[in-house]
């Protein structure tokens, strides 16, 4: 039986006091970490150079080479190592100097065991995040080169030509286009082909983060700056320094946060929440939105000065319906991708099925196409995708979403819903009533339409209609009263009375 290889130490403790090293070794071992030790600064530098330990805990005062001198050398040879300094009690000036020289954090002697645990856990999280960022960067670098973005159509070739001129100029880029057109992929490709490619690509979806947390997420905060701020947090802007910050759905950002972002872009500096210390940042900003920001500026919903600051170079991604020539190549790409993931062996698409793909409007763009291919591969009965394997939206070409979107992007009512004026309710230029009221109107319109369709399908029998709609007969009755669906106010229809008459006993 072979002897297992020893674990590579994760932490190096550098301190000339043996009892300090012993206490820290016991504490870190209890945290599940393996530990190496050095008794002086020169030995610590040599060991870091050879082994690149993820975390270094180092005393400021040591023989041969003091901690501050060792810190500066280690920052040069192993910038990825997270360094925590140990200072004497009351050595605040020395601690601040260490932080400014590149230390991640510090604690003082005599140290509190709980404080050390917190600092070490934060350092471990820093290491984990750094590794994750590197993995994402490598993945994006491998997947997001321009020549790997599928787009042989004339509209996409125009986009690529523009991007080639963008990558070497460190200017702000605004990517616009409908949802699902691949804005994040283009942003990553710009970063990975730029001089900042080896630095971080940090993305923030401003819609996915609650408004109350977005400021902290962007700019970070100091410990105790607000309720729940139990430790210092590095914001996304600061984390992106040296690299690229990608702000998705920028059009949904609130006006107060827009003002703070504008200051960052103008001054290239931030202040964490709860701090008065200014931190310089070196970032390239790429923004994306599916909104018409020029109209948002006119309506006072978006700052004009910020709009011009982020819109130095606009890049518009065409919707999939405007680049139909790319659909066959995209289908092949997604088939290969999901064949491997789903352990299938789809070989081709029949001409009839391909024609359905080409004639569909794809309101969800590439994201919808990818999801459709994934579902179709799962449902396909053999190695060839035919019309019968397609979802109903393609097999019958009856997608309400497709019918509701005209060529110019405006919303039109599907033919079957004209009588409820759904087109007016979904008009993207009509904001004459609050969103909550509009949603209620849309829900009522669709509900009334579906109840009417179910009644027609069951011949007007309310119990069968209720069963078909998955509701109680009483709920159906109440909704029919609400929508005025009884003839002359009669609560029971003739067909149901007839059924009752036939079931009554003969006198």
Specify whether 311 is located in the same domain as 391.
no
- The larger pLDDT score, comparing residue 78 to residue 175, is at 175
Write the CATH number for 475.
1.10.10
Question: How would DSSP label each residue in 268-285?
Answer: -EE--BT----EE---EE
Specify whether 176 is located in the same domain as 289.
yes
Nearby residues of 342 by Cβ (< 8 Å), 6 or more positions away: 374, 377, 378
- Closest C-alpha to 15, from 69, 60, 68: 60
% of the chain residues with pLDDT over 70: 82
Backbone angles phi, psi at 173, to 5 degrees: -125, 135
Give the mean model confidence (pLDDT) for residues 51-68: 89
- CA angle (312, 314, 318) in 5-degree steps: 175
The last residue of one of the domains, among 107, 133, 159, is 133
Give the mean model confidence (pLDDT) for residues 44-72: 90
Write the CATH number for 375.
1.10.8.60
3-state per-residue secondary structure call for 106-158: EEEECCCHHHHHHHHHHHHHHHHHHHHHHHHHHHHHHHCCHHHCCCCCHHHHH
Please tell me the total count of domains within the chain: 4
Nearby residues of 158 by Cβ (< 8 Å), 6 or more positions away: none
Q: Is residue 192 part of a domain?
A: yes
Write the CATH number for 253.
3.40.50.300
* Whether the Cβ atoms of residue 31 and residue 117 lie closer than 8 Å to each other: yes
Per-residue tokens: 168 = 């070497």
Specify whether 357 is located in the same domain as 443.
no
Three-class SS state of 330: helix
Specify whether 54 is located in the same domain as 89.
yes
In which band, very low, low, confident or very high, does the pLDDT at 385 lie, cut at 50, 70 and 90?
very high
- Whether residue 506 has pLDDT greater than 70: no
Specify whether 445 is located in the same domain as 469.
yes
Q: What is the rounded distance in angstroms from the CA atom of residue 260 to the CA atom of residue 221?
A: 14
Specify whether 396 is located in the same domain as 422.
no
Task: Give how far Cα 43 sits from Cα of 15, 67, 71, Å.
Answer: 10, 11, 12
Backbone angles phi, psi at 144, to 5 degrees: -115, 20
Paired with 288 in beta bridges are: 175
**pLDDT per residue over 334-359, tens digit each?**
999 999 988 899 998 999 999 999 98
- The larger pLDDT score, comparing residue 137 to residue 353, is at 353
**pLDDT per residue over 201-258, tens digit each?**
999 998 888 877 888 889 988 887 777 777 888 889 999 999 999 999 999 899 999 9
Question: How would DSSP label each residue in 67-93?
Answer: HHHHHHHHHHH-TTSEEEEEEETT-HH
Write the CATH number for 127.
3.40.50.2300
Specify whether 240 is located in the same domain as 294.
yes
Specify whether 354 is located in the same domain as 460.
no
Residue 366: per-residue pLDDT: 93
Give the mean model confidence (pLDDT) for residues 430-444: 70
Q: Is residue 161 part of a domain?
A: no
Q: Is residue 162 part of a domain?
A: no
Specify whether 310 is located in the same domain as 324.
no
- Whether residue 417 has pLDDT greater than 70: no
Per-residue tokens: 462 = 């309310």
Residue 451: per-residue pLDDT: 87
Backbone angles phi, psi at 424, to 5 degrees: -65, -40
Q: Is residue 248 part of a domain?
A: yes
Q: Is residue 158 part of a domain?
A: no
Paired with 384 in beta bridges are: 348
CA pseudo-torsion sign 323, 328, 331, 332: negative
CA pseudo-torsion sign 251, 253, 256, 259: negative
* Whether the Cβ atoms of residue 71 and residue 83 lie closer than 8 Å to each other: yes
In which band, very low, low, confident or very high, does the pLDDT at 487 lie, cut at 50, 70 and 90?
low
Write out the residue range of the structural domain in which residue 374 sits.
Answer: 320-404
Q: Is residue 506 part of a domain?
A: no
**pLDDT per residue over 311-338, tens digit each?**
999 999 999 999 999 999 999 999 999 9
The last residue of one of the domains, among 358, 385, 404, is 404
- Closest C-alpha to 55, from 20, 21, 14, 114: 14
How many CB atoms neighbour CB 234 within 10 A? 16
Residue 286: per-residue pLDDT: 95
Specify whether 213 is located in the same domain as 300.
yes
- CA angle (255, 256, 261) in 5-degree steps: 90
Tally of helices (H runs) and strands (E runs) in the chain: 22, 14
Strands across the sheet with 284-289, in order?
201-205, 244-248, 284-289, 173-176, 313-316
Q: Is residue 163 part of a domain?
A: no
Most trustworthy range by pLDDT among 71-75, 85-89, 305-309, 408-412: 305-309
Specify whether 204 is located in the same domain as 287.
yes
What's the whole-number average pLDDT of the chain? 81
CB-facing half-sphere around the CA of 2: CA atoms within 13 A: 3
* Whether the Cβ atoms of residue 67 and residue 38 lie closer than 8 Å to each other: no
- The larger pLDDT score, comparing residue 221 to residue 131, is at 221
pTM over 0.85: no
Pick the range with the lowest mean pLDDT from 56-65, 361-370, 394-403, 421-430: 394-403
The last residue of one of the domains, among 404, 439, 456, is 404
Specify whether 47 is located in the same domain as 73.
yes
In which band, very low, low, confident or very high, does the pLDDT at 501 lie, cut at 50, 70 and 90?
very low
Three-class SS state of 423: helix
Crossing angle (nearest 10°) for helices 462-469 and 435-457: 130
Helix, strand, coil tally for the chain in percent (to 5) = 50, 10, 35
Per the rule left: phi > 0, alpha: psi between -120 and 50, beta: everything else, 243 is beta
Q: Is residue 289 part of a domain?
A: yes
């Amino acid at each position: 039986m072979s002897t297992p290889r020893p674990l590579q130490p994760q932490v190096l403790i550098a301190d000339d006091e043996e009892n300090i090293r012993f206490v820290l070794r016991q504490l870190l071992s209890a945290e599940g970490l393996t530990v190496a030790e050095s008794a002086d600064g020169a030995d610590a530098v040599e060991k870091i150079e050879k082994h690149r330990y993820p975390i270094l805990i180092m005393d400021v005062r040591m023989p041969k080479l003091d901690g501050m001198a060792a810190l500066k050398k280690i920052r040069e040879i192993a910038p990825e190592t997270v360094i925590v300094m140990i200072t004497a009690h009351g050595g605040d000036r020395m601690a601040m100097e260490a932080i400014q020289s590149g230390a991640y954090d510090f604690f003082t002697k005599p140290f509190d065991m709980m404080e050390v645990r917190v600092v070490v856990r934060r350092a471990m999280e820093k290491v984990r995040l750094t590794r994750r960022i590197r993995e994402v960067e490598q993945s994006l670098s491998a997947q997001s080169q321009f020549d790997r973005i599928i787009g042989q159509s004339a509209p996409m070739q125009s986009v690529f030509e523009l991007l080639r001129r963008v990558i070497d100029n460190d200017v702000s880029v605004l990517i616009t286009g409908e949802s699902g057109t691949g804005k994040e992929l283009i942003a990553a490709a710009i970063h990975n082909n730029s001089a900042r490619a080896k630095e971080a690509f940090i993305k923030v979806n401003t819609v996915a983060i609650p408004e109350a947390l977005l400021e902290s997420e962007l700019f970070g905060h100091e410990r105790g700056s607000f309720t729940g701020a139990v430790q210092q947090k590095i914001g996304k802007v600061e984390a992106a320094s040296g690299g690229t910050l990608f702000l998705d759905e920028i059009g949904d950002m609130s006006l107060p946060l827009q003002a703070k972002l504008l200051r960052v872009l103008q001054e290239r500096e931030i202040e964490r929440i709860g701090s008065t210390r200014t931190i310089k940042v070196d970032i390239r900003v790429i923004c994306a939105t599916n909104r018409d920001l020029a109209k948002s500026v006119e309506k006072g919903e978006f700052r004009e000065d910020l709009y011009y600051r982020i819109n130095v170079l606009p890049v518009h991604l065409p919707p999939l319906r405007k680049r139909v020539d790319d659909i066959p190549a995209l289908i092949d790409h997604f088939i290969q991708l999901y064949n491997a993931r789903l352990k299938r062996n789809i070989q081709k698409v029949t001409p009839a099925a391909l024609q359905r793909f080409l004639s569909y409007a794809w309101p969800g763009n590439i994201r919808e196409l990818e999801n459709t291919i994934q579902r179709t591969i799962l449902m396909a009965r053999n190695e060839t995708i035919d019309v019968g394997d397609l979802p109903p939206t393609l097999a019958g070409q009856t997608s309400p979403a497709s019918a509701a979107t005209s060529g110019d992007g405006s919303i039109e009512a599907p033919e079957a819903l004209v009588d409820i004026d759904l087109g007016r309710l979904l008009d993207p230029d009509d904001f004459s009533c609050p969103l909550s009221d509009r949603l209620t109107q849309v829900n009522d319109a669709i509900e009334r339409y579906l109840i009417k369709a179910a009644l027609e399908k069951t011949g007007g029998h309310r119990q069968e209609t209720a069963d078909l709609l998955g509701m109680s007969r009483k709920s159906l009755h109440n909704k029919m009263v609400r929508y005025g669906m009884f003839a002359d106010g009669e609560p029971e229809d003739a067909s149901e009375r007839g059924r009752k008459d036939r079931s009554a006993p003969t006198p």
